[in-house]
Chain A
Amino acid sequence: MNASEAASIRLERCAKTFADGTRALEPLELAIAAGETVVLLGPSGCGKTTTLRLIAGLESPDPGGRVLFGEADVTALPIERRNVGMVFQSYALFPNLDVRGNVGYGLKVRGLPAAERAARVEEMLAMMQIAPLAARRIDQLSGGQRQRVALARALAVRPRALLLDEPLTALDAKLRDQLRLEINALLRRLGITAVYVTHDQAEAMALGDRIVVMSQGRVAQIGTPREIYRAPADRFVADFIGVMNRLAGEVRDGAFVCAAGRLPWNGKAPVREVLFRPEDAAIVAAAEAQLTGSVAAAIFLGDRTRLSVDGFGAEPIIVETSGRHVFAPGDTVHLRIAEGALLSL
């Protein structure tokens, strides 16, 4: 598979209102480069699956919306003519065909001669490492195996784009981790344009060249994983990705003053709230402390301890430490925030 077959995808002014009146998607603009892997991330109901289905051709955008593959306007084309490969959450493998039959189905529909079809199917089975399963029936396969067959089937037709709808949600945690790595490697190697829908932010960070964070039918932020994590555009993104600590206070004399202490702040506009990630707060000795609080709860997680620290305001601050010190509720902790780690929105 070469990258030149992969298409760029563009959505212009695409909104979606369903027949019963639900507004699933507000007008959306999205540009995906050829060969890029974009992850649509958000909680249920945010519109990510609707967006995927618009790209696929399973739904049509409200009038005025356009879907383009490369330079071609495919808005009016139904899915069967868009030449996309789709992997469904439930895999949707045909129970009346065996593995070989499933993988070769798209080629059969396209009228490929039997010999060529067989060759392509074997190639796909080898690539997904499921050649020994070729003659098995679908109900004899495990979840992970079905997942691979679904991928093989979608890729066999050399699609212009690969669309994945929460493909790993139905699997257990260990399998999910393993397959995530495999899918990531696969997408890189093939250089195919991929749109991946998930509600799991760890998955999104691991797989996406760029992440589109969505909420309630709107795009909250588009960016690389680092951008999303380090510079969230709004509260929703800040809270949805990882854990974000909040401090309420005010700016006075070049510092941000809050209930627990003072933090150096040279931001321009006056802010009432600053944010920082737990890993940017270090536990230090009293002399170097910027903030001081008391432990409300300490949870030992094995490789680290998560502390819930009071004294900073309405919500406790989450801090993680990998030291061996055992913290008890009521202990005093002194924190120092890393340089440049403070954010404001």
Chain B
Amino acid sequence: MRRAETPRLLLLIAPAAAVFAAFWLLPMARLAAIAGGGPLGLAAYGAVIANPRYLQSLIATILLAAAVTGATLIIAGVAGLFLARNRFPARGLLVAMLTLPLAFPGVVVGFMVIMLAGRQGLIGEIVFRLSGSRPVFAYSMAGLFLGYLYFSIPRVILTVMAAAEKLDPALEEAARSLGAGHWRVMRDVIVPGLAPALVSSGAICFATAMGAFGTAFTLATNIDVLAMTIYTEFTLNANLAMAASLSLVLGLVTWLVLALARSVAGPGVAAAA
């Protein structure tokens, strides 16, 4: 049955393969070619590192993504662990509210940031009432940081909750039976148990923050992340080759980080990437 099956299986996967090849593989190959075919040739790839402006943009993006990842892991780790291990009346509601922003596009998140930290923002209003000065930071790196935090927290909370539920309670009880107090158990049993989930969701968080565009676009003007740089190169400067090579570099870094995450955590990585 196996031998006869193969042509049929090939036929079934052919449409998906064709669409993918025609609309992703081929265009990407062309993108790579164009990136290498511009005035600088293959050196265009190296230009990312050489040109101080691009390098700065890349570094700023990496730092921002790293900061967001670190903050998200801590915040969502604490919150997710707490929600997974405790039952109380409002729990379902809290979980639903915390995971609602999961599918908000970057634009909407940008708008949320404006609501919080824009010229008429809530945070500004509160601080104004308290101290008289009105901080407006939506349109800066701080605002972007807030925005990335906004859509990263729900994803990591979900992953942490799922992983926490799979933890073997006997391990905790064993540690306790040997005398370990609450924080000891946290350190020796829970965190090591959650490590794969934390690493994989951290990697996804990093990759998403690296490549996010919508939020930066909405908060506009003077934010210097790589996605915006690529966009400006393409639309304002019509510098195709540069935009192409920059986006390929960005794509490569993102893909590497995600591949690393998958190898550590296995196929159980959260689907919402």
A and B touch in the complex (CB under 8 A): yes
Does residue A80 face the partner (Cβ distance < 8 Å to B)? Answer: yes
B residues within 8 A CB of A105? 175, 178, 180, 188
Q: How far is the CA of A153 from the CA of B171 in the complex (A)?
A: 13
* Segment 187-210 of B: residues with Cβ below 8 Å from A: 188-189, 192
Shortest B264–chain A CB gap in Å is 14
Does residue A157 face the partner (Cβ distance < 8 Å to B)? Answer: yes
Q: How far is the CA of A96 from the CA of B175 in the complex (A)?
A: 13
A residues within 8 A CB of B89? none
Does residue B176 face the partner (Cβ distance < 8 Å to A)? Answer: yes
Please state if B189 and A94 are interface contacts (CB–CB under 8 Å).
yes
Does residue A58 face the partner (Cβ distance < 8 Å to B)? Answer: yes
Does residue A316 face the partner (Cβ distance < 8 Å to B)? Answer: no
Residue with the highest number of chain A CB atoms closer than 10 Å, among B170, B176, B178, B184 = B178
Chain B, residue nearest A157 (CB):
B178
Chain A, residue nearest B189 (CB):
A94
Please state if A154 and B177 are interface contacts (CB–CB under 8 Å).
yes
Please state if B179 and A83 are interface contacts (CB–CB under 8 Å).
yes
Q: B179 contacts which of A58, A80, A90, A95 (Cβ < 8 Å)?
A: A80
Does residue B132 face the partner (Cβ distance < 8 Å to A)? Answer: no
Please state if A94 and B177 are interface contacts (CB–CB under 8 Å).
no
B residues within 8 A CB of A86? 173-174, 177
Q: How far is the CA of A93 from the CA of B170 in the complex (A)?
A: 9
Q: How far is the CA of A84 from the CA of B188 in the complex (A)?
A: 19
Q: B177 contacts which of A79, A89, A93, A110 (Cβ < 8 Å)?
A: A79
Q: How far is the CA of A90 from the CA of B175 in the complex (A)?
A: 14
B residues within 8 A CB of A92? 168, 170-171, 173-174
Please state if B181 and A80 are interface contacts (CB–CB under 8 Å).
yes
Q: How far is the CA of A84 from the CA of B177 in the complex (A)?
A: 6
Chain B, residue nearest A110 (CB):
B179
B residues within 8 A CB of A154? 177-178
B residues within 8 A CB of A93? 174
Q: Given A80-B181, A110-B179, does the pair A58, B192 have CB atoms closer than 8 Å?
A: no
Q: Given A94-B189, A96-B192, does the pair A88, B179 have CB atoms closer than 8 Å?
A: no
* Segment 66-106 of A: residues with Cβ below 8 Å from B: 78-81, 83-86, 88-90, 92-96, 105-106
Please state if B180 and A90 are interface contacts (CB–CB under 8 Å).
no
A residues within 8 A CB of B189? 94
Q: Given A80-B181, A88-B170, A109-B184, does the pair A94, B175 have CB atoms closer than 8 Å?
A: yes
Indicate with 1 or 0, residue by residue over A134-174, a CB within 8 angstroms of chain B CB atoms.
00000000000000000001100100000000000000000
Chain B, residue nearest A105 (CB):
B178
Does residue A194 face the partner (Cβ distance < 8 Å to B)? Answer: no
Chain A, residue nearest B180 (CB):
A109
Residue with the highest number of chain A CB atoms closer than 10 Å, among B168, B179, B189 = B179
Please state if A106 and B173 are interface contacts (CB–CB under 8 Å).
no
Indicate with 1 or 0, residue by residue over A27-47, a CB within 8 angstroms of chain B CB atoms.
000000000000000000000
Shortest A220–chain B CB gap in Å is 28
Does residue A257 face the partner (Cβ distance < 8 Å to B)? Answer: no
Q: How far is the CA of A96 from the CA of B170 in the complex (A)?
A: 15
Interface residues of B (CB under 8 A from A): 168, 170-171, 173-181, 184, 188-189, 192
Which 7 A-B pairs rank lowest in CB-CB distance, beginning with the nearest? A106-B178, A92-B174, A92-B170, A86-B177, A96-B192, A109-B179, A80-B176
Contacts A/B (CB < 8 Å), 5 sampled: A88-B174, A89-B170, A92-B168, A105-B178, A110-B179
Interface residues of A (CB under 8 A from B): 56, 58, 78-81, 83-86, 88-90, 92-96, 105-106, 109-110, 153-154, 157
